Amino acid sequence: MKILIPFACFILLAVLLISGTIYVKQLMVQASETKEQETDQVKETQKENLKSRVTLEEEFTVLKAHKTEKKPLNEKFNGIVPTHVTIPSIDVNASIEQVGLLDNGEMAAPSTEDGVAWFEPGSKPGVKGNAVLAGHVDSKTGPAVFYHLKDLEKGDEIKIKDKQGTTLTFVVKQKKSYPRDNAPLNEIFGYSKGRHLNLITCTGTFDRSEGTHQERLVVYTELKEEENKQLENKAQPPATPTNVKISGHLLTWYAVREGNIIGYRIYKKQSGGTFMHIGSISEYERKNFVDKNTSNAHYYVTAVNEYGEESAPSSIAK
């Protein structure tokens, strides 16, 4: 005879998610305030000088090798909005819905026993931090979508994708069970330098007096190494041009030896002391720029990669 198990398990799980969300929001606010304080004059100058640009392709003549559909020019990776999850080793193939908080302050549960919920107020999968997916372990009619989550082993893969078809692969690192009222919020929702996806469900003995399972199972995963390297390379600004010199009316510099550089920007010091962007050179062109008015002029050069990331300014040439 089947045991009737209500959804109280997931409701109590929501308390964990809500507490973690508050913690994550606090971290996000602190990080945002710190970032604003670190803005310097050079970055502000570049922002003002370049804000009228529409695309990198309009600024530089970009070779075909740099043009890809999966990595659009001038677009940074900000994670994905997941719509589907597959876990081959435990035969999970489920849709993902976005959930938030109900009016009573609890996290909304997946609308079906076979569906998975992504906590939308938290991190997006693929960005640095901890994204969270949650699903039922069972229902009134029997096993639910995460019934076999406990069977996952280190190295198993979890694939999620968005409606555009972008797919991310996460690899299981470990799994842990915690008492339902004593899960470590820092490990699940706290600051992380990695790109993590944490899967949560109920586990352990069903406590009839409380109407829920006694423990919570958390499967910790991290973005697959190859994909993580691609995103890390994309997020890093390019190296700074070197050997910048002015000779007569000709400014020259050495090329940056990175595969995804698409061009260089030239800046000149104005009478007010700020530097103004005065020209751009595509990566395959000669690394020089002609300025007919070089009297008492100061210049610096930056490199730009295919993702729109700009290097730090070079040394000043004068």
The token pair at 242 is 């070197």
Q: Is 202 a catalytic residue?
A: yes
Catalytic residue among 9, 66, 136, 213: 136
Catalytic residue among 66, 196, 202, 213: 202
Question: How far is residue 229 from each of residues 127, 192, 195, measured CA to CA in Å?
Answer: 13, 16, 11
Active site residue 277: no
3-class DSSP assignment, residue 127:
coil
* Nearest to 56, CA basis, from 65, 47, 46, 67: 67
Check: CB of residue 316 under 8 Å from CB of residue 299. yes
3-class SS letters over the chain: CCCCCCCHHHHHHHHHHHHHHHHHHHHHHHHHHHHHHCCCHHHHHHHHHHCCCCCHHHHCCCCHHHCCCCCCCCCCCCCCCCCEEEEHHHCEEEEEEEECECCCCCECCCCCCCCEEEECCCCCCCCCEEEEEECCCEECCEECCCCCHHHCCCCCEEEEECCCCCEEEEEEEEEEEEECCCCCHHHHHCCCCCEEEEEEEEEEEEECCCCEEEEEEEEEEEECHHHHHHHHHHHCCCCCCEEEEEECCEEEEECCCCCCEEEEEEEEECCCCCEEEEEEEECCCCCEEECCCCCCCCEEEEEEECCCCECCCCCCEC
* Residues catalogued as catalytic: 136, 202
